[in-house]
Structures are given as structure tokens and as C-alpha cells.
Chains A and B, each alone.
Chain A
């Protein structure tokens, strides 16, 4: 292609994904954190075994979504696993065993996040709308 005017808006995945705790393979598509003026960060975690993904409670000044979805796009709503997530300063535990979105408005304490059962692989995506 000759000189591109819009190619700068496209961030492409590259390199190898990172391996975190056993059973969790994580990828983030690198780019400027405020790519094209949009402050965001998207993480993609491929879950194949139970794991303690985040051990400490946290909160931040940007909104975040935690998305849990099956790894088979033809049956995305069939999660095939179970997650335990603590929410709030009280650490109220929520058990998630279907495809779900957890909305975390800025300031809301969340985590620990534990993957407790994996019947089949699934995808955990976190969408952060702001700088880390």
C-alpha cells in the first residue's frame, strides 16, 4: 500500500503472549496507552486451569469491565468454568459460572479474583478506560 492515512489507528498483536499463573496466558495489544487520543487498555487472558489471577483488593480512578466468555465463539455464552470475585470493601464474594460482564465503576474496590473451576477453556478480558 502506498502511504497510509489511517494505518496509525490500528494496533496489531505481536510477539508471544505472556504466561502468568499456571493456566493463564495473557496478551495485551501494545500501543500507546492513549492511542489516537483514546485512553484505554485491553487485556486478553486465555484461561485453561484454575488460578489465582489477582490476589489483592484494588480500586482505581478509571472505569473497568471484566468480561468472561467461552472460548468457542459459536457458543460464547457457555462459559464452562467458575470464577470467584470479591467486590466492595467488605469483600462480598460473587460466584460467576455463566458468560458475564462485571462493571467496575471508578473507585469500586474489587478482587481478589480466583478462577476456581475450568471445565473447558474460556476467555477473560479486561477493558480499562483510562491510564493504568
Chain B
């Protein structure tokens, strides 16, 4: 092709640098079946996640075939039981919304749908996590259309 006049308008395989994102979480500790292989397993897996800034958790509404505990815990006891932020948790197929502003534990019997979970406000980073009474997280998802 001779010199192109309009080729400049055609961007082939374009990739730009992703915009910088605010870090919303930081990893804590977590455990699952593989990590317990040294002694045989306990039917439980859990994680701790540092919540640093507002965001919505990626998990869509889902349920498990075993019981689960969710926890929201402040990072220090100075203003116990104030969480240092605000979360909104949808429970049930109705998405009944619950606001969490203090240390809290949510006990979800198997089959109770939960999420979205919206970390609405973070005044001071806090911990969030799940404790699932199964040896791995993926094995307990009921909704076959959702992969965890």
C-alpha cells in the first residue's frame, strides 16, 4: 500500500495501560484442604481479608450445601464494638439488606442465599472473612452456574 492517509485511525491490537486502581483489599491468612494435608483435614476452610476501601465483593448471590459464618471485625479494640466502617449484606432470595457497623458474625445455615456484600464505607481498615464448614470452598457451592 502506498502511504496511507487514514491508517492512523485504525488501531490494530490496541492495548493501553490499565488505569490505576485504588487498592480495596489486602490478603490475610487463609486455609483450605491442601494446607492441612500434613495431618488429615478438618472440615473447615476460612480466610481473613483486610478491607481497606469501599468496594463490592465479586461474589454474586449464592448459597452453600454446608453452614457458613461471615465475620466483620475491627482491627483494634479501641472503640469496640465499632467496626470502623459500614457494610451492607443481602440475605435470602429477597436480598433482604442488613447494615453492619459493629463487629458482627453472620451465621448462615446451609442453603441460605447471601451476597452481594457491599463494603460501603471504610473509615479505618477492618477484617472480613468467611468460615465455611467444608474442607474446600468450591466443593460447597450449590449453584452449578457459578464457579468459585
A: which residues have CB within 8 A of B? 4-7, 9-17, 25, 27, 29, 31, 35-38, 40, 42, 44, 46, 63, 65, 67, 69, 71-77, 99-101, 103, 105, 121, 123, 125, 127, 129
Residues of chain A within 8 A of B92, CB atoms compared: 5-6
Contact of A73 among B42, B50, B91, B98 (CB under 8 A): B50
Of B9-17, B55-63, B104-112, the stretch lying at the interface with chain A is B104-112
Interface residues of B (CB under 8 A from A): 26-29, 31, 36, 39-40, 42, 44, 46, 48, 50-52, 67, 69, 71, 73, 75-77, 80-81, 91-92, 94, 96, 98, 100, 102-109, 112, 125-127, 131, 133
Residues of A within 8 A of B71 (CB): 42
Which 4 A-B pairs have CB atoms at the shortest separation, nearest pair first? A73-B50, A13-B81, A13-B103, A6-B91
Q: Tell whether, in the assembled complex, residue A29 and residue B112 are in contact, meaning their CB atoms are under 8 Å apart.
A: no
What is the minimal beta-carbon distance from A63 to any residue of chain B, in angstroms? Answer: 5
B75 near A127 with CB under 8 A, answer: no
Q: Are B46 and A27 in contact (CB under 8 A)?
A: no
A71 touches B81 (CB 8 A): no
Q: Known A5-B92, A6-B92, A63-B42; judge A73-B127 contact (CB<8 A).
A: yes
Report which of B46, B51, B112 forms a contact with A127, defined as CB distance below 8 A.
Answer: B46
User: Do A65 and B46 have beta carbons less than 8 Å apart?
Assistant: yes
Query: Could you name 5 residue pairs across A and B whose Cβ atoms are closer than 8 Å?
Result: A4-B98, A6-B96, A12-B81, A72-B125, A73-B125
- CB atoms of B107 and A11 under 8 A apart: yes
**Distance, CA A35 to CA B42, complexed state (A):** 20
Q: What is the CA–CA distance of A31 and B91 in the complex, to the nearest angstrom?
A: 19
A35 to B109, CA, bound (A): 9
